[in-house]
Amino acid sequence: MRAFILVLVVLIVPSSAFAQARTAAPVDLTGYWVSMITDFWRYRMLTPPKGNVDYLPITPEGRKVTDAWDPARDEAAGEQCRGYGAVGVMRMPGRLHITWESDDVLKLDADAGTQTRRFHFAAAPATGGGTWQGTSTARWARPFTPQSPDLAPQGELRVTTTRMRPGYLRKNGVPYSANASMTEYFVRLVDDDGQQYLAVTQALEDSQYFVTPIVRTMLFKKQADGTGWNPTPCSAR
């Protein structure tokens, strides 16, 4: 009987814990958010010139791919969304709409390129191959306590994304490969006036094209409603 109860607990607890991802959320990230281009303006607001890899620890192979960038070829091959994958789309000027698709799936829609990302707190469904947005698993970080100073601040969402289709870090053809992996940290911030902000820090690892990991933080401002929400299709330029 004890063995039966133990097995039952092992089977039930993970499922129950995953099902509580929405209700156990330490902070509400849902709503509309608009990008604040506070850094790297010329690389985010405009498509950099061909061959421009400023401030990137790119490998010789990565530079070769960058120099061969041809937007017309991407369009002809149906690859115009290369700059709108999970890595690139978060760096673009535009808006996000975050909602709960289910108790264990947080959905992020980006109006840039009309892209959708899904963050799975339970096991992500198997896919036949890489997609622009990849496969993302998520978990809430534990709140900080004086007894555990190494823990992350309350409200942090950690997302790990793999199985991405090869895409562009920048729209001028700076590549990341199918073997790339990305960890993101979503943190909600509130100023003295009650205005909410969302800081998203990306850590991209791709030894094929970059000598070291690339870490960048993007900032978004909370909006009261969907004013300005304007989904547009991908463009290679």
Domain ranges (residues) in the chain: 2-233
At position 51, the amino acid (one-letter code) is G
pLDDT at 88: 96
pLDDT at 142: 62
Largest CA distance in the chain: 69
Pairing of strands 167-170, 174-176: antiparallel
pLDDT at 236: 78
CB 26 within 8 A of CB 41: no
Q: Return the H-helix or E-strand segment holding 73.
A: helix 71-76
Q: Which DSSP category does 71 fall into?
A: H
Q: Which two tokens stand for residue 60?
A: 């010789």
Q: Which two tokens stand for residue 151?
A: 């823990």
Positions of the chain with pLDDT under 50? 1, 3-19, 144-152
Give 6-61 pLDDT, tens digit per residue.
Answer: 443 334 444 444 448 999 899 999 999 999 998 888 888 888 999 999 999 999 99
Reduced to 3 states (helix: H, G, I; strand: E, B; else coil), residue 79 is coil
How many helices and strands (H and E) does the chain possess?
Answer: 4, 13
pLDDT at 123: 86
CB 108 within 8 A of CB 192: no
**Degrees (nearest 5) of the Cα angle 225, 228, 231?**
110
CB 161 within 8 A of CB 180: no
Other residues' Cβ atoms within 10 Å of the Cβ of residue 144: 15
d(CA 233, CA 218): 22
Pairing of strands 181-190, 135-140: unpaired
Residue 53 has φ and ψ, to the nearest 5°, of -130, 30
Helix, strand, coil % over all residues of the chain, rounded to 5 = 20, 35, 45
Mean pLDDT across the chain: 88
